[in-house]
């Protein structure tokens, strides 16, 4: 992943991932440090890069592959993320540990895209089955809302 200085057409920074990038998202977190984090879904991994320090913060191996579809989205609080792909399931993970917190079923085709709402109270998933589903962030996550 290359970041360019557009004024002088020079590569300013590069982040390395191990496979083709399927999805990327930038989130300005509401955490105490106000981090700006780039979330990348690539191969069977989700990567989190700090755009201020230009460092890899975390990477997790997923139970799905992002070869043909899917993606990941970081909650605005920076405490959890969602990921989905070809296996029809939407999974919620803990950002700090990578532990799967929830596994949600609702689509009848592969997950093509997913994003948290800016307030973090819900997230949307889009599927090859032609549907968009809105998911309420669980009540156990009230501290994040």
Per the model's pLDDT, the better-predicted residue between 143 and 77 turns out to be 77
Range 117-122 contact pairs with CB under 8 angstroms and sequence separation of 24 or more = 118/76, 119/76, 119/145, 120/30, 120/75, 120/76, 120/77, 120/144, 120/145, 121/145
3-state percent breakdown (helix, strand, coil) of the chain, nearest 5: 5, 50, 45
Assess whether pLDDT exceeds 90 at residue 84: yes
Assess whether pLDDT exceeds 70 at residue 139: no
On average, the pLDDT of the chain sits at 91
Model pTM score: 0.89
Average pLDDT (13-34) is: 90
Give the confidence band of 140 by pLDDT, cuts at 50, 70, 90.
low
Per the model's pLDDT, the better-predicted residue between 82 and 143 turns out to be 82
Average pLDDT (81-103) is: 94
Average pLDDT (114-138) is: 94
């Amino acid at each position: 992943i290359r970041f360019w200085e557009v004024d002088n057409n020079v590569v300013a920074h590069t982040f390395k991932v191990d496979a083709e990038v399927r999805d990327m998202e930038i989130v300005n977190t509401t955490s105490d440090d106000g981090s700006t984090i780039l979330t990348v879904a690539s191969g069977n991994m989700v990567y989190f890069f700090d755009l201020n320090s230009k460092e890899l913060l975390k990477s997790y191996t997923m139970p799905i592959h992002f070869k043909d579809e899917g993606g990941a989205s970081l909650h605005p609080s920076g405490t959890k993320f969602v990921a989905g792909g070809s296996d029809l399931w939407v999974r919620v993970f803990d950002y700090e540990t990578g532990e799967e917190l929830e596994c949600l079923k609702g689509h009848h085709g592969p997950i093509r895209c997913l994003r948290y709402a800016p307030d973090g109270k819900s997230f949307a998933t889009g599927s090859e089955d032609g549907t968009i589903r809105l998911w309420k962030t669980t009540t156990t996550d009230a501290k994040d809302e």
